[in-house]
Structure 1
């Protein structure tokens, strides 16, 4: 198999055949598009999610905190703690561990998230540093938003700009290959996209506003995230390409290397569905968060509208980041 997520049909088959038991106290459980599970604890609920960092070398500790806390925030719930596992290849140094844990600690402090524990070891099982975190959140019973809640006629709202994570990883890990394509100022700007990776603020605000569904945009880009919302919710979508917010720097990189920004990992942007899209946009912008309505939830069909033409969107394949990395090797 090639690097990237498993084919969704294979993954669904594996999940469905290996569910063990279904407990009554689990309100939201594993499934395609659901990044979090929600467990009932009386008047409170615990929201849990887990994700590794495999596509980045620089800033991997910072990214590990945010992609996991973003999952909790996509339920409209505040993250409270992280469990951290770090696997290092033979030859790694204490400096590597201190650097990673420093990044993790610094970002966790910004989110008021406690590092609850974890595991660290050097092993021949990996050839680069692998970080995997489990994030835990706490909320009132019944308040957590699921991916599967999107309803027909909902507006689809996207926050900030797409591809912030993917662009930041590309520029940080392959800066030497971008000299000549990007100016020094553009390189510095793209490196700083990582400062916008968190969607915790918009997730909690949107949860309080009252929305039907949320999904942070990770591997597979916005088209993958839309597909997962639609699959989980058993609905369709129509999204307009000319409304999708993408920076000029991202467009320049993707155009040069012939990769699709709509399929590029995009932590830093949240997809939200609600019948009150414009009202939500105004609320978020009043809180300093850029947002826009990019489409609507439909009864069926997965459609991207470009220049008046409809394109049917297939199940997500490998993220464009992995394809680019193969080109740059």
Structure 2
């Protein structure tokens, strides 16, 4: 396609016709000749917004897609929406809507754009998010599709009150849901499948590659909100150490973590050892950090919903950020570049 706005007939046929999911919170969506969406009035709660961008994986077999498949900065469209929804849920909000901006290279043809929009709509529908507008442009400066999703959520009045009560982190238990390193493990296992199969049984490699089924943190975030007084942060780029540092730094507090309690799947251990990466500094989408004064009660509430969770330490009123590993005590480093980029 030529540089500039996508032609009107292409926009109508391959973009707008793919958008089917609707929510009552949206009074009017953006569309042809209408550049703004309108939210229906709501009397309680607050609007929450976040942005998630990424280089998008094409669902076709051209040379460019084949070349980019080894680039771990490339991701499926569905993961962009999931990350956006996770960010909203970690803020205590219910994901409602998203705007989607896509920049395309001139090499992309209309069927590929339609496939991207079908994938985006499926991802949004699975999360019950309505795509309410955006932009689709072609540029000679772009060599791989780039997408940005701006998500909108509604924070209930109760969640607003709870969030305010939970801002003082010192003295609160640190809870981690599911397992760390899930996202990175899936990416590395998919990328290195053939090499891994030379060392490990097929069931282990296939299970590791399928960890993307755990990416959503919406169920545990909803349970935490019901438990009251929780502050949450999703674990993503940089891994669990980066997420913990960011929470402590943002609140101006310290922390103490028992490294032996950080939850790891055996598949993650094996894949990380093979790829020579540190699982504690590896993409961990699918895991949520929850801070709460009564951590045991939150863990029990999560267990009742079938969600694994464990208390791994506490936030403290000092400036020290400590990692305990049996008799060894060391200071937590500032967040480093994600280990995914070191994987073989």
TM over 0.5: yes
Query: Aligned pair in 2 of structure 1 residues 57, 223: CA closer, same or farther (>3 Å)?
Result: closer
Q: State yes or no: 1:81 paired with 2:97.
A: yes
Task: Give the stretch that moved more between structures: 66-75 or 136-145.
Answer: 136-145
State the Cα RMSD in Å.
Answer: 2.2
1:120-145 residue CA offsets vs partner (Å, 9 max, x unmatched) = 23323333232221110012347243
1:256 matched residue in structure 2: 274
Query: Aligned pair in 2 of structure 1 residues 66, 255: CA closer, same or farther (>3 Å)?
Result: same
Residues 150, 229 of structure 1: 8 Å contact kept: no
The 5 A counterparts of 1:1-329 are: 43-54=44-55, 56=72, 60-141=76-157, 143-144=159-160, 145=163, 149-300=167-318, 301-324=320-343, 328=344
Report the Cα distance in structure 2 between the residues aligned to 1:60 and 1:266, rounded to whole angstroms.
16
TM-score of the aligned structures, taking structure 1 as reference length = 0.80
Report the Cα distance in structure 1 between the residues aligned to 2:202 and 2:164, rounded to whole angstroms.
41
Unaligned runs of 5+ in 1: 1-40
1:31 matched residue in structure 2: none
1:131-162 residue CA offsets vs partner (Å, 9 max, x unmatched) = 22111001234724379825222110001111
Residues 84, 132 of structure 1: 8 Å contact kept: yes
- Tell me the matched-pair count: 285
Query: Aligned pair in 2 of structure 1 residues 259, 299: CA closer, same or farther (>3 Å)?
Result: same
Task: Give the stretch that moved more between structures: 106-115 or 295-304.
Answer: 106-115
Structure exhibiting the larger radius of gyration computed from Cα positions: 2
Unaligned runs of 5+ in 2: 1-41, 56-70
Note the C-alpha offset of 1:58: 6.9
Query: Aligned pair in 2 of structure 1 residues 284, 65: CA closer, same or farther (>3 Å)?
Result: same
Query: Aligned pair in 2 of structure 1 residues 255, 119: CA closer, same or farther (>3 Å)?
Result: same
